[in-house]
Chain A
Amino acid sequence: MTTQNKPRIGVYICHCGMNIAPKVDVEEVARSIQTLDHVTVARDYKFMCSNPGQDMIINDIKELGLNRVVVASCSPRMHEKTFRNAVKTAGLNPYYFQMANIREQVSWVTKDSQEATEKAKSLVAAAVGRVFFHQPLETREVSVTKSVLVIGGGIAGMQAALTSANAGYEVYLVEREPSIGGHMAKFDKTFPTLDCAACIMTPKMVDVLQHPGITLYTWSEVHKVEGFIGNFEVTIKKNPRYVDEKKCTGCGTCMQKCPTKKVVSEFNEGLSFRTAIYTPFPQAVPNVPVIDADHCRVLGQNKKCGVCVKFCETKAIDFEQKPEFVTLTVGAIITATGFQAVNPSGMEQYGYGRFPEVYTSLEFERLNNATGPTSGKVVMKNGKVPERVAIVHCVGSRDTRHKKYCSRVCCMYSMKFAHLLREKTGAEVWEFYIDIRSPGKLYEEFYNRVQEEGVRFIRGRVAEITDIVDDATDEGRLTVIAESTLTRRTVRVPVDMVVLSVGLEPARGSEDIGRLLGVSRDGDGWFNELHAKLAPVATPISGIFLAGCCQGPKDIPDTVAQSMGAAGEAIALLAKGIVTTQAEISRIDPDLCSGCKSCIESCSYSAIRFDEARKVAVVNEALCMGCGSCAAACPSSAAGVKHFTDQQVMGEIESILL
């Protein structure tokens, strides 16, 4: 090591307000570290991340000639970037920096103050031992493909697609159902303003279809994702529709004539039937039917039929269609895969599936919808209008046996149902709730409004719904049993209809999407955002963003806002046009490489290729994510990750042990 390069290390211990000090005796840590070899200066300060804190580092670098910096504060996930920038501002290579986490790993989790101080000393010493061996690293800039893939065509995906496309970028929207629209297309009214969902939704659906910047792939799925931020290679699988989208005029004759009429309608939540060739609902976008191969007489049962073929004037029916694969390059991906309603069959005490008049909230949405099975008349299966209806909150939510979380939307939609029931049927409505959660603009006001409308709110979670008849006059009704916790009485309310306000869970298939994208999911299955507060739409995978319920339950206003946020992040990335690749990537020493190709097999990013001429493995620096799999797989120690060299790691460990 030349004299010029002789390490002069500056160490900065952060108090983090009251988070680290006084649990850790920061002054003592600074005093102790000051005595280590190569440490030029060790200081403590209230907030290292603040402007004065950063200036302190910059000044010291300039005035004391520091060439290495250690900051002991919070997690590197929080502020590593901040301090690297400070180091860079002072003219040093930003990789001459190391962070020690004495907050999450010390002060927050250690009871004894002395023990905490000792542990902090060890960790800071380790950082000093490591930074000694740091080397300057360089990042590279790669240009970005100016297009976005949006996965999921519900309100979240549609909004993200529209915002991105309005900014002038190419958008590909993939939806696995035959139409875009998602859950919102099933709703009749939306809380708290009671806008008609269709009125605000269908124009957006048409906008998506007609937008010159949006290419719509319905009845399609994301099949493969490769590459990285700025240049993802995406393969989309277009499932066979058996109807030529270019020829079809959407006249609907095929659906009228199809003889297979008793297929359970998914869109109507099983409350009605559809044909084998169908669009899920009249306002479907695109207005092109699909043939459900399982139920079609020709495709599924090998029978002679062909009625649709006969009646189609534009010859759009094509039984020969096969799945098609389309490959695209996009700069960013927005995931908007949404939710599904919790199936309440597992809660037998509520009798769902046994009692015909027990509905889930989504079934009730359809029952109440003008395009639904009863054309919007709220009637029982026997055609009669219910006189008393119970709405049961928290079905599957706030329940450690099912979903431990609050699903956030159920209180509000339950009260919307109560309002609609009062308005449409005049029925007496009983809401059984644990706590009413109405935090949102005009939400509490809506609660008050529904109270004024005479809805009976009973504070108690329903224990049981039974068809046991206790009074002959209630024959044919169901009885809802709960403790009314405010009066301490057990109430037994005979009702005609029950709506179970079921919670939300991640949509079917989110696990697969998560795997394709490399985006992790939390314990409940929702996609993990990068930071709960400060990076709510980003994911740990750069260039992949989240919109709507796939990240956690949320209502329409929040979903739309988040979708615009996700689009905003994507746009910012695309507008800049370049991404900086990370410096902490693998390198394979050609002198040591034996050409065994173990690293190539181990690489999940296809970032290593084999140089046939030299018979060695070579890392593609643009693709490498620095995961280190190759380093672990390499039998001859040729592969290693920059910034995680053996020397650096050993330096760190030795400083803790010695």
Chain B
Amino acid sequence: MSQNDTNPFSTIAHLESINQCIQCGTCSGSCPLADLMDHAPRELFALIREGAYEEVLHSNTPWFCVSCYACMVRCPREIPVTDLMYALKEVITKQGTAPQNLKMPDMYQAFSRNIKDTGKVTESLVMARYGMKHPMDALKNIPLAIKMQMRGRLELKAQKVADPKSIARLFELTETSKDKP
């Protein structure tokens, strides 16, 4: 563990709020997916304060945040936990340190790519792209997809904005990594 490395998260808005954390565990106790995290939010904040940045860069925690905001409305120090999880993901994505074999980053990538291409999300297409990396997951969903199809709830054709190029342009314009998370 390299304690003296510069903090890769230092540009995150409101990161300083974790200095107020009293390590009470309300966030982790409120988290529906804490059991899947290697370091639930409380511990992740402690790691950042300790300077264990590598550990945090490779943590799966932010990827399991479901954005339910339960932690955020209960935190007795009003730390914007969910917002910080988003920002951590952004730093981790830009640094390319998301854990290998973790499914969520691939899902996010497929989702984002779908928006970039068409401006809108078509669930079947997101699943198809994601399925290229995780074929078992895609196969497991086929029976459900059939049921959905029977009820007219599966759209296989891409939903699109009128001018998909404008969304692609929006992606390009926001590509610069200098923007603060």
Contact = CB atoms under 8 A, between A and B. Distances in A.
Contact of A461 (B25, B34, B35, B78): B25
A462 B26 CA distance: 6
A401 B20 CA distance: 14
A349 interface: yes
A461 B76 contact: yes
B161 interface: no
Interface stretch (A52-60, A479-487, A588-596): A479-487
A45 to B, nearest CB: 40
Interface string A298-341: 00000000000000000000000000000000000000000000
Contacts of B78: 400-401
24 contacts: A349-B74, A394-B24, A401-B76, A435-B22, A459-B25, A460-B25, A461-B24, A462-B26, A462-B29, A463-B26, A463-B30, A481-B29, A481-B30, A483-B27, A483-B28, A483-B29, A483-B34, A483-B42, A485-B24, A485-B25, A490-B28, A490-B29, A490-B34, A490-B40
Interface residues of B, number: 20
Interface string B71-107: 0001011100000000000000000000000000000
Given A488-B43, A490-B34, A400 B76 contact: yes
A488 B34 CA distance: 10
Interface of B: 22-31, 34-35, 40, 42-43, 70, 74, 76-78
A434 interface: yes
Nearest to A399: B76
Instruction: Give the secondary structure class of B's interface.
Output: helix
A399 B22 CA distance: 10
A462 to B, nearest CB: 7
Interface in A403-442: 434-435
Nearest to B32: A490
A464 interface: yes
Interface in A463-493: 463-464, 481-485, 488, 490
A400 B77 contact: yes
B40 A483 contact: yes
A398 interface: yes
Nearest to A459: B25
Given A398-B76, A400-B77, A434-B22, A461 B29 contact: yes
A398 B26 CA distance: 13
A461 B26 contact: yes
A483 B23 CA distance: 10
The 5 nearest A-B residue pairs measured at CB: A463-B29, A483-B25, A461-B24, A399-B76, A483-B28
Interface centre among B28, B35, B40, B43 (most CB of A within 10 A): B28
A464 B73 CA distance: 12
A490 B53 CA distance: 24
B29 A464 contact: yes
A503 to B, nearest CB: 11
A420 B68 CA distance: 39
A484 B70 CA distance: 18
Contacts of A484: 25
A459 B42 CA distance: 13
A460 B76 contact: no
A488 B76 contact: no
Contacts of A401: 76, 78
A459 B24 CA distance: 8
B85 to A, nearest CB: 16
Nearest to A435: B22
Contact of B30 (A435, A464, A485): A464
B76 A394 contact: yes
A461 B74 CA distance: 10
B35 A490 contact: yes
Contacts of A490: 28-29, 31, 34-35, 40
A482 B70 CA distance: 13
Nearest to A483: B25
Interface centre among A400, A484, A490 (most CB of B within 10 A): A490
Nearest to A491: B29
A461 B27 CA distance: 9
Contacts of B70: 463
Contact of A482 (B23, B29, B35, B77): B29
Contacts of B30: 349, 463-464, 481
Contacts of B42: 483, 485
A488 B30 CA distance: 13
A228 B30 CA distance: 54
A459 B31 CA distance: 17
A495 to B, nearest CB: 15
